[in-house]
Structure 1
Amino acid sequence: MATALHQMRLDAVAHRLLASGARQVADLGCGQGELLHCLREYDQFDRLLGIDTDAEVLALARARLMLDPLHPDRRVRLRQGSFEESDWCSMAIDAAVLLETIEHIDPGRLSRLERSLFGQIAPALVLITTPNRDYNPLHGLTAGERRHPGHRFEWSRTQFRAWCRGLAERQGYCVDHQDIGPPDPQRGSSTQMACFTRCGTG
């Protein structure tokens, strides 16, 4: 079961996707399929594609979504692959989501993600959520301590916004930001979300 904070993330992403009018959505780093399970409840989404490098978690996602390999679901598909490449994208994508995903990527490889997703596939909307390091003391973490052992980094609000701004300028996107979770006056919220839209598309 999702924690209260994670449910807020799922709800915030679903709200932005629904408001955008997106019909074909890719969940990059889909894990056990929580977001896909949430989005499948909305008729707006014609096609939902989950991508992950981990075969074991994809098996758990298939079980959660009750997908039968012998009888493919017409709306939901899962595929093992790396979203640092673009070869997984065999259908038109209106929107892509990286939900608590980029912090698991080595910083030196983020440029590959940028080229693949924003430069080659270039969906109209990209949503990225990631931990806000400024908030970590309120989770009881000490300086330098990360929320998960698999995190390669955790960015402050200033760092995340600087990265997003540079990416948007290089790739022809506009970006706005949303806090997710109870806010603190000095530290913001636990999760930060960037919403990239191709300039001129809304």
Structure 2
Amino acid sequence: MHLIIRATGAGAGMLSHLLAKNPNNLYDRTEKEARVRIVFTASSEELTEAVIYVTPDPVELVKGDSQAHNDITQYINDREFVTSSLFCTYIRAALGTALNGKPKEAYVPRVKEPLELVLSFGPVASNLPDRTVEELFGALGYEVSLERGDAEYTFALKARSSARYIRLKGKQTLQTALQQLFVLIPALDDYKHYYISDDEVDKIRRYGSGWLEQHPQRALILKRTLRFAGAIRQYEEMAAKELQEAGRGPGAPADIPVLEESSPGGSAEPSGVQEEPKVRLNDLRYEAIARTVGELDARASIVDFGSGEGKLSARLSSVPGVREIRAVEPSAASQLRAMERFAKLEGRPGVVVPEPVTGSLFYFDESLRDRDVMILCEVIEHIDEHRLDRVMDTIFSQYAPKTLIVTTPNKDYNTVYGMEQEEIRHGDHRFEWGREAFSAWCSRWTGAFPYTAEITGIGEGSAEYGYPTQMAVFTRGEHLQ
């Protein structure tokens, strides 16, 4: 993870003074368990360039996390490499003088003087499409260039990587440029490693002063930096108060659309800011699956693959006729939460307590064969497409459930959420299919195995785009029962 700041033209040599760093010395410090280094690769009155390079300790990244010892996936992520909110935290102390605009007294008048700057940073792992990234910085007057690293695979992984290197060119004061980066880098990454408190709201207000209120993507920036409706509303109230005090208008707080929080084993669905949403899409999925299971003749034994925290399994536990539920999940952390949820079901009349099972779709489990119902709720989109065929072949040929229920997002419906064509609903989704692609996929499996498939939708429907979630119910032919 790095940030390169280059100043050119008259006054470029002022860059080192505004950063309060001697261009002849290497800055090498440890900040929050990360090594931060600043080196000047050029230093003259016409060209000055500072390279800020951060190397975090990957083990320290998970230390102190109470879940780290339960789940190896804590160690398998991109946080060690990408330019994110973590990167901003690491370099804040080193750039504090420039961020606050408080260099030595002799240079204070130069704080407000714009420089010809080129800012290069990355890699940035963002689920935003290129056009949106360009709009975020282009609206601030920068020329924006995006570059992706080259990678060759022997299989189809992704059409394009979500990781990009970003280069910005424009005339801006160093203080404002850095403040813009400290707001927009976390917005691009859409990941927060810290609690969003009043201090975070105040930081966005201070760093966004003079540019954020007029930014055309202001709603998106607030949604991805503050995340929660309460924090966004608090920011709006502060901004409105400042506008009133400045005599620039009433500035009534605006309604800002936000994403629902994502839970392990589930996906985040875009929605409007609401104090109490009537019914979440996740709940509608569970209700639709429970209703479908309740209508089946054979429903005594159920396998819930990718059960996460056990919410769906707990919902199915009260369906009449169900005698056994096996909640299969590879994540130990999610399983612990599921076990706590299942423990609360014990002793309730007419309720079957699900059995947690450590397992994965990639490892065959003989004990799961020939069950009445197998469920993959929002699971397949988290599997690379080149691996999905093997998973489904195992399900149909080896597990051979009487009924297989599969739900997955409907990409067509993303337009209703105001999403770009390249955007996906959750950062871990390997793909999302529209209705035509999902139907073709289902037909391929019913053509290869003695199953029929019925496809329906879940959620608030659209005449043009269908439903936010699509569900396929595969039924095994009678001659195999």
TM over 0.5: yes
User: Larger deviation: 23-32 or 137-146?
Assistant: 137-146
Deviation readout 1:155-201 (Å, 9 max, x if unpaired): 01000110010011111100011110111011000000001001237
Could you tell me which runs of 5 or more consecutive residues in structure 2 were left unpaired when the two chains were aligned: 1-262, 264-276, 346-350
Code of the aligned partner of 1:183: G
State whether residues 94 and 124 of structure 1, in contact with CA within 8 Å, keep that contact through their aligned partners in structure 2.
Answer: yes
State whether residues 79 and 88 of structure 1, in contact with CA within 8 Å, keep that contact through their aligned partners in structure 2.
Answer: no
Code of the aligned partner of 1:194: A
Code of the aligned partner of 2:292: R
**1:122 CA drift (Å):** 0.4
Structure 1 residue 25 corresponds to structure 2 residue 302 = yes
Code of the aligned partner of 1:19: E
Code of the aligned partner of 2:286: L
2:390 alignment partner, one of 109, 112, 122:
112
2:427 alignment partner, one of 132, 136, 149:
149
Code of the aligned partner of 1:42: V
2:460 aligned partner: 182
**1:138 CA drift (Å):** 1.1
Q: Normalised by the size of structure 1, how large is the TM-score? A: 0.91
Code of the aligned partner of 2:314: H
Could you tell me which runs of 5 or more consecutive residues in structure 1 were left unpaired when the two chains were aligned: none
Deviation readout 1:122-167 (Å, 9 max, x if unpaired): 0110000000000002122111100000100000100011001001
**1:40 CA drift (Å):** 1.0
Deviation readout 1:15-67 (Å, 9 max, x if unpaired): 11111131100000000101111011224110000111111111111111117
Q: What does 1:50-199 correspond to in 2, within 5 Å?
A: 50-66=327-343, 75-87=353-365, 89-90=367-368, 92-199=370-477
State whether residues 46 and 75 of structure 1, in contact with CA within 8 Å, keep that contact through their aligned partners in structure 2.
Answer: no
Code of the aligned partner of 2:322: F
State whether residues 369 and 400 of structure 2, in contact with CA within 8 Å, keep that contact through their aligned partners in structure 1.
Answer: no
Deviation readout 1:102-131 (Å, 9 max, x if unpaired): 000010111121122111010110000000
Code of the aligned partner of 1:18: G
Classify 1:200/1:90 alpha carbon distance in 2 versus 1 (closer, same or farther; 3 Å): closer
Structure 1 runs of 4+ aligned residues shifted over 3 Å read: none
Structure 1 residue 5 corresponds to structure 2 residue 284 = no
**1:75 CA drift (Å):** 4.4
Code of the aligned partner of 1:26: V
User: Larger deviation: 100-109 or 135-144?
Assistant: 135-144
State whether residues 285 and 458 of structure 2, in contact with CA within 8 Å, keep that contact through their aligned partners in structure 1.
Answer: yes
Code of the aligned partner of 2:474: F
Larger Rg: 2
**1:89 CA drift (Å):** 2.8
CA distance in 2, matches of 1:168, 1:113: 15
User: Larger deviation: 55-64 or 1-10?
Assistant: 1-10
Aligned-pair identity (%)? 32
Instruction: Determine helix, strand or coil for the equivalent of 2:442.
Output: helix
Classify 1:29/1:146 alpha carbon distance in 2 versus 1 (closer, same or farther; 3 Å): same
Cα RMSD of the aligned pairs, angstroms, is 2.2
1:47 aligned partner: 324
Flag the structure with more relative contact order, 1 or 2, with Cα contacts below 8 A and sequence separation at least 6: 1
State whether residues 86 and 117 of structure 1, in contact with CA within 8 Å, keep that contact through their aligned partners in structure 2.
Answer: no
User: Larger deviation: 49-58 or 82-91?
Assistant: 82-91
CA distance in 2, matches of 1:182, 1:172: 32
CA distance in 2, matches of 1:54, 1:9: 22
Q: Normalised by the size of structure 2, how large is the TM-score? A: 0.39
**1:84 CA drift (Å):** 2.9
CA distance in 1, matches of 2:418, 2:311: 26
State whether residues 368 and 399 of structure 2, in contact with CA within 8 Å, keep that contact through their aligned partners in structure 1.
Answer: no
Instruction: Determine helix, strand or coil for the equivalent of 2:421.
Output: coil
